[in-house]
Structure 1
Amino acid sequence: MFALTDEFSRAAFAAFNAQMAQFDECAQAVVDVALSSLATATVASNQFLSAQNTEEFFDVATSQSQLALGLAQAYSREATDAALNKPLFR
């Protein structure tokens, strides 16, 4: 009986380690996205602050909105791909 309990403990420990590895990957991805967003926001704010007239301001606003739309579309594609590659849908 002890061997069976020991094997269950090892299996539970292995499953826990696998889940922690997945959590670590997700957490690192979140940190990377946050740092990237911060860098993008810094560049955008510097561009807005350096605009000399309303035309430059609206040019910067247009380029930033197009960039944001492209990032949202890329995120949507990645999220859909990740959701469909889960074992539940295979």
Structure 2
Amino acid sequence: MDEVVKLSEWDEILKSRKDSTGSLRFPIYSGSAFNLPEGERYHYTRENNPTVKELSRIISLTERSEKTTVFSPGMAAISTSF
């Protein structure tokens, strides 16, 4: 049987977010330009931005997994399932 994430664990997950702006809610970054580390500078924004990283982190915590891959809607998600 799957484990259910308890409400107290949800509190910890939401409190553990790391937003550099200190906002009360994690913002949705819809911009197209980000200052990325060397070697990651030419990524397409749908593949790598702060919002995608935060979503991946929260899903990993709730599912108790090491890593989560998040896709934009479209062919990337469809082709990866095969």
Q: Same fold (TM over 0.5)?
A: no
Structure with the higher helix share, 1 or 2 = 1
The two structures have a TM-score, normalised by structure 1, of: 0.29
Structure ID, larger Rg:
1
